[in-house]
Structure 1
Amino acid sequence: MSSRRDVQQDVDPAEITAAWGAATAGLPAPLAVVDLDAFDANADDLVRRARGVPIRVASKSVRCRPLLQRALARPGFAGVMAYSVREACWLVGSGLEDVFVAYPSVDVLALAELARDGWAASQVTLTVDSLDHVRMLAALERPHGLRVAIDVDASLRVGPVHIGVRRSPVRSPEDAVVVARAAAAAGLSVVGLMFYDAQIAGLPDSSPAVRFVKARSSESLLTRRRAVVAAVREVAPLEFVNGGGTGSVHLTALDPAVTEVAAGSGLYGPTLFDGYDAFSPRPAAAFALAVTRRPGPGFVTVSGGGFIASGPPGWERLPALFGHRDLRLVKREGAGEVQTPLRGRGARALQVGDRVWFRHAKAGELCERFNALHLVSGTDLVETVPTYRGEGRNFG
């Protein structure tokens, strides 16, 4: 494991939100900001942890073309990991290259459109993890060849216990070879492998048990990943072997079998990354809500706020107050669809129209709630840029 360097050190939330407030003074809330200084510092730290291995940017964790381009312009970043075929075609059409759709698609119309576009087909790689996917792609009319990568299950299994996400049924070298051979026989170009270790990348280091699972999983995956890669290379000349996520970049990059790592959430530094031992990204993305009511002593109500992150339900999926030490959510109400009550001593200093700042639990999901991101540096508003939503794009 790499030595810990706390990127978040010396961060004072009150000072940060004061600067964000000054930069966006006069703009109506709700509004969302991205702190470019923190974004760039987080990008630098990802590159440090990747140890020279190229980082493919996960677009679902950014969902803003100008910020995708900002990351890709930095040394150490190369290629996009997309989540939708339509999104991939749109990104390629706007000038981005080497886009890997890291989830299987059954959008036959979008796939057919991709196959008709020679340039897009040369720049987009699709994901398969079964013979069903291969047969579906083989049945398409394909004026141009399609590139595919095989998603390999990277979870940990201890006896009958499955620790990790439920994704690919491909696990062993033999499983991967079966899919690779079928894809090649169907006229598909097998160019990549993917291993996403959610039980390492996506879990905060909250207990000794979690740390043990991560260490055991990393050791097990190291051996199995190398075997899968070697077996598939006997069938197809792979261009890339992708692995990891923001939370496991420093571990995945140590494996010589891996040619690139994936990361995106670490650029924004959402709250789910506050509890990791190996790194602490700076808070780069946040949103402000306006106080609209003072329903009683010690209470205020802000507009909106019900921006709940995906994943297992729990309080850690709710937005977290930032820069307001003496405020908290009301447990009986949580974060509401059109208003969110808050309580605490800090409510006494807040007036109707004042702002309250929050951080989202995850990264790119915040962009599904806002049409624009206000890019700030210190107390300066640098630029306002559209999110995917602001460009009228919704990829599910």
Structure 2
Amino acid sequence: MMHLPADAPDTPFLAVDIDLMSRNLERTATSAAERGIALRPHAKTHKVIEIGRRQTELGAVGLTVATVGEAEVFAAAGFTDLFLAYPVWATPSRSARLRAVAERTTLTLGVDSIDGVTELASGLAESGVRLMIEVDSGHHRSGVQPGDAGAIATAAVRAGFDVAGVFTFPGHGYALEGRAKAAREEAEAIAGAAASIERLGIDVPVRSGGSTPTMADADPSVLTEMRPGVYVFNDAQQVELGSCSFADVALTARATVVSRSGQNAIIDAGSKVLGADQPRWVTGGGRLPDYPDARIVALSEHHATVAFPPGEAPPVRGTVLRVAPNHVCNAVNLANELVIVSNETVIDSWIVAARGRNN
């Protein structure tokens, strides 16, 4: 049984092992530096000011964010270089918010269409905002084909923007097979897009890619920058993908066994704590690092059913368990704070400052 310290909050809560997190941060920063790839971590995973500062102290060139709201939070906290890594559609109200952010920090925005450039120009001309052209490297979400990047870069230059470079998200690396293949396709798409732009006489100083599953295979002969996010904590998905082990999972939900039935234990953390992400290829609704053969077979809002294999008795009522969420980014966005522990002693709590800043 895990015994919580007297100053720990009631379960369920999200706990961060600061020693494991620090190791994750340092290892990735060292790996990027040794390969000559700039590190721009994606802050959408942690949404925490203290963690962003640790990343920049370890050499990150800036932070990646997913929304204008996240950019506002980190700019207000003093971060000086932010990249909004998706195609921003600049409505008048959003343009006003972006201008305010750009007054406080170096701000780069993603774009993947000439229409997008036109909309950005209508509200952000002479704002100092830079643009990055997004290309599709196989994930088939946003982004243009590499050969079309030049036309968008030309439109951006004509509209008065500085084109900082090209970027992609190799999201198809989130699969049981194919992480290395996704990294190769990432490099091919980035190289093709850069060539498309350079043929038109426009420099491409930044070639940005990378995700946690693919960063080990990132090609330093093509990429100048990578933007992993989950690596700071890791999660059950990363364990099942093989990009880390349970020993690398720094964030876990702490949950209490409140009921038992046969081989099942019912814990007091459900989808409103763990998140509801469950891709087809994962083996349950989360994983228990201390019980690797157990599986979360059902998620309710406030409870989860954990099935233990034959011959392994479920923990008794009152036992506190560590649960690795499938997708840590979703779990963090559901929490007001993260409880910071070292050797299972509570040493601090950090506010999830950008929680809910999704627009």
* TM-score normalised by L of structure 1: 0.79
Deviation (angstroms), 1:100: 0.4
Aligned residue runs from structure 1 range 173-322, under 5 A: 173=147, 175-200=148-173, 202-205=174-177, 210=178, 214-215=180-181, 217-233=182-198, 234-255=200-221, 257-276=222-241, 280=245, 282-294=248-260, 296-306=261-271, 307-310=274-277, 312-313=279-280, 315-316=282-283, 318-322=285-289
Whole-Å separation in 1 of the counterparts to 2:190 and 2:155? 20
| 1:308 CA displacement | 3.6
> For residues 77-125 of structure 1, what are the alpha-carbon distances to aligned partners after superposition, in whole Å with 9 as ceiling and x for unaligned?
22111000221122112101211000122352122222255524x5111
CA distance in 1, matches of 2:325, 2:258: 21
Letter in 1 for 2:235: P
Which letter does structure 2 place at the counterpart of 1:354? T
Contact 1:36 1:375 in 2 (8 A): yes
**Structure 2 residue corresponding to 1:89, chosen from 72, 78, 84:** 72
In structure 1, C-alpha distance between the alignment counterparts of 2:234 and 2:257, rounded to whole Å:
25
Determine if the alignment matches structure 1 residue 342 to structure 2 residue 286.
no
Establish whether residue 171 from structure 1 lines up as the match of residue 145 from structure 2. yes
- Quote how far apart the aligned CAs of 1:348 are: 5.4
Distance in 2 of aligned mates of 1:305 and 1:25: 23
- 1:365 equivalent in structure 2: 330
Alpha-carbon offset, residue 388 of structure 1 = 3.2
SS of match in other structure, 2:215:
helix
> How far, CA to CA, are the matches of 2:110 and 2:70 in structure 1?
14
- Whether the aligned pair in 1 keeps the contact of 2:130 and 2:162 (CA below 8 Å) is yes
8 Å contact kept, 1:79–1:97: yes
* Cα distance in 2 for residues equivalent to 1:198 and 1:22: 37
Matched with 1:9 is: none
Structure 1: distance between partners of 2:307 and 2:284: 19
Alpha carbons of structure 1 residues 46 and 204: separation in structure 2 relative to 1, 3 Å:
farther
Consecutive unaligned residues of structure 1, counting only runs of 5 or more, are: 1-13, 156-163
Answer yes or no: is the 8 Å Cα contact 1:181–1:235 preserved in 2.
no
Deviation digits for residues 230-287 of structure 1 (CA, Å, limit 9, x no counterpart): 33244434442211111222322422x3211111111111111114556547010100
Query: 2:99 aligns to what SS in structure 1?
Result: helix
Which one of the candidate residues 339, 348, 359 is aligned to 1:383?
A: 348
Change (3 A) 1:97 1:316: farther
For residue 38 of structure 1, give the secondary structure of its aligned residue in structure 2.
helix
Aligned to 2:117: 134
Structure 1 residues 293 and 57 mapped into 2: Cα distance closer, same or farther (>3 Å)?
same
Aligned to 1:7: none
Structure 2 CA distance for aligned equivalents of residues 343 and 117 of structure 1: 48
Give 1:72 deviation, angstroms: 1.9
- Aligned CA-pair RMSD: 2.8
Offset of 1:188 from its aligned partner? 2.0
Runs (5+) with no aligned partner, structure 2: none
* More off after superposition, 104-113 vs 126-135: 104-113
* Residue identity in the other structure for 2:286: P
Cα distance change, pair 107–367 in 1 and its aligned pair in 2 (3 A): farther
1:39 aligned partner: 21
Query: In the TM superposition, what is the alpha-carbon distance from 1:219 to its structure 2 partner?
Result: 4.2
**AA matched with 2:320:** R
Moved more, 83-92 or 299-308: 299-308
- Residue 327 and residue 194 in structure 1: after superposition, are their counterparts in 2 closer, same or farther (change >3 A)? closer
TM-score, normalization by structure 2: 0.86
CA distance in 2, matches of 1:221, 1:327: 35
Matched positions, count:
350
Deviation (angstroms), 1:25: 5.6
The residue number in structure 2 matching 1:158 is none
The one of 132, 149, 155 aligned to 2:132:
149
Is 309-318 or 103-112 further displaced after alignment? 309-318
CA contact under 8 A between 2:110 and 2:131: conserved in structure 1?
yes
Within 2, Cα distance between the matches of 1:24 and 1:370?
Answer: 21
How far has the Cα of 1:131 moved from its partner? 1.1
Q: 1:172-205 deviations in whole A, cap 9, x for unaligned?
A: 33x11100011111122211210222223x2334
Q: Which residue of 2 aligns with 1:64?
A: 48
Quick one: structure 1 residues 218 and 32, their matched pair in 2 at CA, closer, same or farther if it must change by over 3 Å?
A: closer
CA deviations on 1:286-339 (whole Å, 9 max, x unpaired) are 001223334x4544422231234547456546222231357543x4xx111122
Q: Which residue of 1 aligns with 2:9?
A: 27
1:395 matches 2:358: yes
Identity of aligned residues (%): 21
Would you say the 8 A contact 1:65–1:388 is kept in 2? yes
